[in-house]
Amino acid sequence: MTRLSKQIIKLGLLGIFNFISSFHCIAQTQVKKAKYNIEVFGMDVGELNVEQQIIGHDTIVKAITSVDFKFIFTYKGIYSQEGTYRNGELLQSHLKIIRKGKVSSDTRITKTGNYYTVIEGDEDTSYIYNKIRYSGSLVYFNEPVDISTIYYETSGEQKKIEAIGDHIYHVFKINKNKKNDYEYEYEDGILKRATIRYPLANIYLERE
């Protein structure tokens, strides 16, 4: 076998290896998307778009909520949330609320060693010393089977979650009575509808 032939074979094998490697990377990336309509007082007031990517050991969730509500008062805003989980534990999260074209809230949660650093705006800093394995950003594509607690990045609260029926879960505050704050219903492991209960009104999410 000539030297040129060996080089050709080597380049060919390298090309095959690169093709297989690139295909493997593509196969390891999973993308899911969902859109939810938001309803209050029987009126459509906005929509929520969610995308989840699984790349290797990382789960990345991006959610954007647009609300335009006019009733007794007017509320118009955009809420964006992005979270990254690695090996089943929250790595980082970024939440931003925009009202009237201006940022009204900006919160970042970052895993630092064995704890989390929470930065709100430019100054307020706090810390979380418990591991966060399931949070509000995961509820859309990850049914909380065998999950007992959920962390909400929006409020900074850890709450209890339990099944109350087939693929139906409710959420309530720890060390309080089981007043149902949230209710989630799943179909094929994906959130189908949700109810968020407030004193003045309930908010309903329904997947399209």
- The domains of the chain are located at 31-207
Instruction: List, for residues 81-129, the tens digit of each pLDDT value.
Output: 999 999 999 999 999 988 878 888 889 999 989 999 999 887 778 999 9
Report whether pLDDT(29) > 60. Answer: yes
Instruction: List, for residues 57-83, the tens digit of each pLDDT value.
Output: 999 999 999 988 666 556 688 989 999
Count of C-beta atoms within a 10 Å radius of residue 116: 22
User: How many CA atoms does the CB half-sphere of 37 hold within 13 Å?
Assistant: 7
Per-residue pLDDT, 16: 45
DSSP-H helix ranges across the chain: 3-27
Per-residue pLDDT, 199: 80
> 3-state class of 136 per DSSP?
helix
Return left, alpha or beta for 76; rule: phi > 0 is left, psi -120 to 50 is alpha, else beta: beta
More confident site: 179 or 136 = 136
Scan for tokens 């309903």, then name that residue.
Answer: 204
Cβ neighbourhood burial of 203 (10 Å; 0-12, 13-18, 19+):
middle
Per-residue pLDDT, 61: 96
Per DSSP, 36 falls in state E
pLDDT, averaged across the chain: 83
Contact of 208 with 35, CB cutoff 8 Å: yes
More confident site: 169 or 179 = 169
- In percent, the amount of the chain with pLDDT more than 70 equals 80
Closest CA relative to residue 151, chosen from 75, 95, 208, 207: 95
Report whether pLDDT(2) > 90. Answer: no
Contact of 67 with 45, CB cutoff 8 Å: yes
Closest CA relative to residue 92, chosen from 114, 111, 64: 111
Residues 6+ apart with CB under 8 A from 12: none
